[in-house]
Structure 1
Amino acid sequence: MSKKTRQAPQEEHADESWLIPYADLMTLLLALFIVLYGMSATDAKKFEEMSEAFSGVLTGGISVLDQNALSSNSKNFNSDNLIPKDSSEGLMRKTELMRREQENLEGLKKRLDNYIKENGLTTQLDTQLNHSRLMITISDNALFDSGDAEVKPEARKLAKAISAMLEQFPDYEVVVSGHTDNIPISTSQFPSNWDLSSGRALNFMKILLLNDKLDPKKFSSTGQGEYHPVASNKTSEGRAKNRRVEVSIIRKYQEESKTGIPAINMTSP
């Protein structure tokens, strides 16, 4: 009789599907320890940020890297009104402010020009409006005696008139600067043209500030000496133009070129 061949019973294998996520976890942990080892020479702040980043990945939360990305994106917005600084609305607002400022400065210039004409001061005063400021230029002989820094009594009327017109610009910076010609001066009171120009600017500013409606914090005076001439010092006419006091109302809003540098001219002087 033929013998029946018995087949050996197949061995049952345990379910090994758990090895896949286990291997993935081990890989992540290995990568984590390699990174931590490589960062052992970095500073504590970077170590903490990287640790939190990995923690966010493993827990499904928002990591420091994600927070930094959100923070970076938020920098493009105005925190006051959540409107992008470079948005069309922001540009329109700035354009409107510049337009209003231009109208106000043009109005003040017109008032000053009328005052100059009505009082016969066209040879002693001048106004210029450009991209950065409205500047009132006053000849030194309208304000001071030769070599002196005391404002003439009759010139105080002019200073008071200018100060009254400045009342409509209470938030604007005003700079009073003194200038001389290049002829040296050396007296006990004024050892140099620096001293003379500084004294003249300061004294004229003090008279402007007798008007208690003006804020002294917005005013400053400076002496420029002989170093910013507007005419040649080789002639008496040129030297007379260089001896002057300038009262400048500084613009708040200035037109910028495409490069971000203030444009050379917004309006003609």
Structure 2
Amino acid sequence: MSKKTRHEPHEEHADESWLLPYADLLTLLLALFLVLYAMSATDARKFQEMSEAFSVALTGGTGVLDYSKTLPSEDPPNVNDHKASSPNVPATTPDQRRAELMRQEQEDLEKLKKQLDNYIKNNGLTSELSTKLNHSQLVITIRDNALFPSGEAVVKPEARKLAKAISQMLHKFPDYEIIVSGHTDNVPIANSRYPSNWDLSSDRALQFMKILLTNSALDPKRFMPIGYGEYHPIADNKTEAGRAKNRRVEVSIIRKYQDSTTFTNVEDVTNGN
């Protein structure tokens, strides 16, 4: 009789298929905690790098960790901001530009004043001419006895040389407005040509300005003659010395850039205050 082989019963194996979704769940929980942690951090750049790495690892591309969907994209850099911050292109504000122009103007007027003062000193004219630079203008003051015969507006021949010398200095600074003003004392004048001090002072300013403008390098539209008569004195008319100071012609070179905090009126400009 043949011997029959006896088979042992197979052991039952536990069903482990639940491990797959469980592992997926743990992975998703880990990713969730990482996202929550990253969102609470202040360094957005690190969060972006980390989210991109997890997205590639878990989904092969963009997915739940897609940074562009969770945070707003940054604005593109402003070209002007880059230029302003570049060390090779310093930013200049309007106030800084104006301050630079004012500084340059101050240097120009100081240079012109020095030239005039040297001319006055070298030609022995210190008692007849003077200069003054203030916040609104550079003023050249010329006594009337250096320019005109008493009661007249015809420029003396020797004074024409002075006027031409001044015009030569002015043409090096052609962009300034020039006011030529005539002034008298308070003694009334009444002759056949000038019925009042207004007429005499106006004609003196005009005649002296005409000689300045014989220099073709000067622009006539930047010049203006004004007659003030006796109404803008710089000294007391009660004395002969005071009246002599008041009889004068002033050439005023007007600043283009003035301190906005300083009030300037017509009297300031014409009297050099």
| TM-score, with length taken from structure 2 | 0.63
Give 1:95-134 correspondences, 5 Å limit: 95-134=99-138
> What is the number of equivalent residue pairs in this alignment?
178
Q: What are the within-5 Å matches in structure 2 for residues 54-73 of structure 1?
A: none
Residue in 2 aligned with 1:142? Answer: 146
1:182 to 179, 186, 208: 186
Distance 1:262 1:243 in 2: 24
- Name 1:199's counterpart in structure 2: 203
Q: How does 1:4-23 map to 2 (within 5 A)?
A: none
**CA distance change for structure 1 residues 231 and 262 in 2, over 3 Å: closer, same or farther?**
closer
CA radius of gyration, larger in: 2
5+ residue gaps, structure 1: 1-86
In 2 relative to 1, CA 143–133 (structure 1 residues): closer, same or farther, beyond 3 Å? same
After superposition, what is the alpha-carbon deviation per residue over 1:233-261, rounded to whole angstroms, capped at 9, x for unaligned? Answer: 0000000000000000000000122xx74
Return the match for 1:90 from 73, 94, 97.
94
Separation of aligned partners in 1, 2:103 and 2:178: 20
Q: Distance in 1 between matches of 2:252 and 2:113?
A: 12
Write the distance in 2 (CA, Å) between the matches of 1:148 and 1:262. Answer: 32
Task: Give the 3-state SS of the residue equivalent to 2:176 in structure 1.
Answer: coil
Q: 2:169 aligns with which of 147, 153, 165?
A: 165
- For normalisation by structure 1, the TM-score amounts to 0.64
Question: CA offsets, 1:119-153, max 9 Å, x none?
Answer: 00000000000010000000000000000100000
Find the aligned partners of 1:262 and 1:221 in 2 and give their Cα distance.
19
Q: Find the counterpart in structure 2 of residue 233 from structure 1.
A: 237
Map of 2:249 onto structure 1: 245
Which aligned segments of 4 or more residues in structure 1 are displaced greater than 6 angstroms? none
Counterpart position of 1:212: 216
Q: Is the 8 A contact 1:256 1:262 kept in 2?
A: no
RMSD: 1.9
Q: Decide whether aligned partners of structure 1 residues 229 and 261 sit closer, same or farther in structure 2, where only a CA change above 3 A counts.
A: closer
